[in-house]
Amino acid sequence: MRIALMCFMVVLSLAFGRSAHADSDLDNGPLHLDFKVDAPDHKGPVASGSMEMEPQHSTKFQVEPSGPGKMSLEFFSRIHHDGTVAVYVGYEEIGPKGEKVSWEPAMQGKRGAPISATIRAGQVERTITVTVR
């Protein structure tokens, strides 16, 4: 009984050890993330940029929108075993009249291909497009 329990524990530790190692292999190296925020009533992107970020880490920063107001974006990325990339976005915008848009889209797609999400709230419509390389 004791030998069987010890063998079971060894098998479990090997299985979990491999699983953790496989996840770390997927997360090696920084990701390059390009983003843009579009609005139908605005010429060109409301905001755009690019950055390097580590998988499994979030990056938050203030963005200078092309019009009046303030914008804050937070990105979190995760690479899945099948090679797809999940991107979670924390989006907050305060318009020139104090109107607020808070939004937390989750998107998933292939690395190198643009993925996007759209929000419509009252008079406000925004589309965020992200490409992870």
Q: Look up tokens 């998107």; give the residue.
A: 107
Is 86 within a domain? yes
What range does the domain containing 46 cover? 30-132
Within 8 A by CB and 6+ apart from 79, the residues are 26, 27, 31, 55, 85, 86, 111
Q: What is the C-alpha separation between 37 and 80, in angstroms, rounded?
A: 25
Residue 120 has pLDDT above 50, yes or no: yes
How many structural domains does the chain have?
Answer: 1
Is 46 within a domain? yes
**For the segment 54-86, what is each residue's pLDDT rounded down to a tens digit?**
888 778 767 877 777 889 999 999 888 888 999
Q: What is the C-alpha separation between 110 and 95, in angstroms, rounded?
A: 33
Give me the mean pLDDT over the 14-39 stretch: 63
Residue 14 has pLDDT above 60, yes or no: no
Is 77 within a domain? yes
Residue 82 backbone phi and psi in degrees, to 5: -85, 5
What share of residues in the chain are helix, strand, coil (percent, to 5)? 20, 50, 30
Q: What is the CATH number of the domain that holds 48?
A: 2.40.128
Q: What is the C-alpha separation between 114 and 133, in angstroms, rounded?
A: 10
Is 55 within a domain? yes
Is 65 within a domain? yes
* SS3 at position 8: helix
Per-residue confidence (pLDDT) for residue 27, from 0 to 100: 52
Residue 95 has pLDDT above 80, yes or no: yes
Average pLDDT, the chain: 79
